[in-house]
Amino acid sequence: MLYIVATPIGNLSDITLRAIEVLKSSDFIIAENPAHSAKLLQHYAIPKKKTIQFAEHNEKKVLSTLIPQLKSLNGALVTDAGTPGISDPGFRLVRACVEAGIKVAPIPGPSAAMAALSASGLPTDRFLFVGFLPRKETALIKMASLAKQTESTLIGYDSPFRIVKTVELLAKRFPQSNMVIARELTKIHEEFLRGRATDVLAELKSKASIKGEITLLISFK
């Protein structure tokens, strides 16, 4: 059996009791970064377990060995932060388990996209989550246009080194759109920038530096 275990995106208190119980009872851990997960287990006083890395660079190689184990043992899939399978290779393991008839159980919890949306002040009834935002202007504008056409709030992740350029492109095409930048969610330096796209761009440009993990949201309502 495979458990999909959501873990904190920043604040280590943001973990469910069920997630801790599953991590304790599972036969082994499947982790994006075993060293990072070891620190997480130590923090919650969970005994060390066999940990198998499952990441972008080795997923195809490891997949064939994981499926036989999950047919007789319980494995817990964790990512570096948040819900596994959301914008990471974990979904391929889930799909393989489903195809092999292995039971998959979600252990819900933190997600940067949902946390940002819930506190954004933008419409939440319909949204389009796109993972990491495209770098190319054509693809980015096409994605934003789709959100506008479907009256959806667009949600995407971006790099602090790229965010100014991304917002510049969006503000140029959709200057009156409503935008929110959520940075370092649940951490000490958590920050929300809200306003018209042009205003958010001006605020970003006024900063000496931009650091941390970023979720961008844009609405056309």
- Look at the chain and count its residues: 221
Same domain, 11 and 57: yes
Same domain, yes or no, for 124 and 40?
no
Indicate whether 31 and 102 sit together in one domain: yes
Question: Measuring CA to CA, which residue among 187, 125, 135 is closest to residue 156?
Answer: 135
Domain that holds residue 185: 112-219
Q: Does 143 share its domain with 93?
A: no
Mean pLDDT, rounded, of the chain: 95
C-alpha 166/C-alpha 168 separation (Å) is 5
Contacts of 101 (CB under 8 A, 6+ apart): none
> What pLDDT score does 87 carry?
84
Q: Are residues 137 and 206 in the same domain?
A: yes
Q: How confident is the model at residue 4 (pLDDT cuts 50, 70, 90)?
A: very high
pLDDT at 59: 80
The domain boundary, picked from 59, 86, 107, lies at 107
Looking at residue 56, its pLDDT comes to 82
* Domain total of the chain: 2
Write down which residue in 52, 73, 107 finishes a domain.
107
The per-residue pLDDT for range 41-100, each reduced to its tens digit, is 999 999 989 999 998 888 888 998 999 999 999 999 999 999 998 988 889 999 999 999
Q: How far apart are CA 201 and CA 207, in angstroms?
A: 10
H or E element, residue 187: none
CATH number of the domain to which 214 belongs: 3.30.950.10
Same domain, 149 and 63: no
Number of H helices, E strands in the chain: 8, 10
pTM over 0.85: yes
Structural domain ending residue among the three candidates 75, 92, 107: 107
Predicted confidence (pLDDT) per residue in 128-183, tens digit: 999 999 999 999 999 999 999 999 999 999 999 999 999 999 999 999 999 999 99
79 and 133 co-located in one domain? no
For 41, the token pair is 């287990």
What are 177-202's pLDDT values in tens digits?
Answer: 999 999 999 999 999 999 999 999 99
What is the pairing mode between strands 51-53 and 127-132? unpaired
**Same domain flag for 102 and 117:** no
What CATH code is carried by the domain that includes residue 97? 3.40.1010.10
Clarify whether residues 11 and 45 are in a common domain. Answer: yes
Distance from C-alpha of 210 to C-alpha of 195, rounded to nearest angstrom:
18
- Chain position carrying tokens 């939440």: 124
**161 and 97 assigned to the same domain:** no
